[in-house]
Amino acid sequence: MQLSSEHRKIIEDSIRDIKDFPKPGIIFKDITTLLNNKEAYSILMNHLYEKYKEYNLDYIAGIDARGFIFGATLAQMLGLGFVPIRKKGKLPYTTISEKYSLEYGIDEIEVHIDAFSKIQNARVLLMDDLIATGGTANAAATLVNQAGANCVEACFIIGLNFLDGIKNLEQKTAVYSIIEVN
């Protein structure tokens, strides 16, 4: 289902830009102002529900931490299970992990080894608030597949089009971003 330009604008206008956070030169896209705006949050989630209800999904996997909010909301609306993909050291059971590069240094995310094991070749939608370089989402999609499931699409509220993240991730899975920033 296509999002009307009026609805897209309501979502876009609800996201706040914070200059120079967490460091100089970064414009941080603050989605807390989308979440506390009941109209924008509802339009967004209803759009995602309409779009994904025919995908025959088995799980939504959300990326730590803002991907949990949108991912878990959507999972509940679609009647699906939710799987958190967390920063290293937070998940209590046996995990598989994947490292990825940051601008300076490396980071690591993890998923429980049995997170998708109830369904063979489970169809998984990956969810986060924003894709920038794509490093996080790429590692997350790899983890979903390594855990025996199938990452069928990755969904973001915001895509930073001036970076190569979306293009790179498209080598691995389909990508949908609602608001594109050029």
| Residues of the shown chain interacting with ligand AMP in the complex, contacts defined by CB under 6 A | 26-29, 63, 66, 128-137, 165
Q: How far is the CB of 101 from ligand AMP (least distance, A)?
A: 9
CB 178 within 8 A of CB 156: yes
Q: How far is the CB of 56 from ligand AMP (least distance, A)?
A: 26
C-alpha to C-alpha distance for 50 and 48, rounded to whole angstroms: 5
Q: How far is the CB of 14 from ligand AMP (least distance, A)?
A: 14
Residue closer to ligand AMP (CB basis): 6 or 103: 103
Residue closer to ligand AMP (CB basis): 58 or 129: 129
Pairing of strands 81-87, 106-112: antiparallel
- Annotation says 66 is catalytic: yes
Residues 6+ apart with CB under 8 A from 94: 112, 113, 114
Residue closer to ligand AMP (CB basis): 131 or 144: 131
- Annotation says 103 is catalytic: yes
CB 116 within 8 A of CB 149: yes
CB 142 within 8 A of CB 170: no
- List, by residue number, the catalytic residues: 66, 103
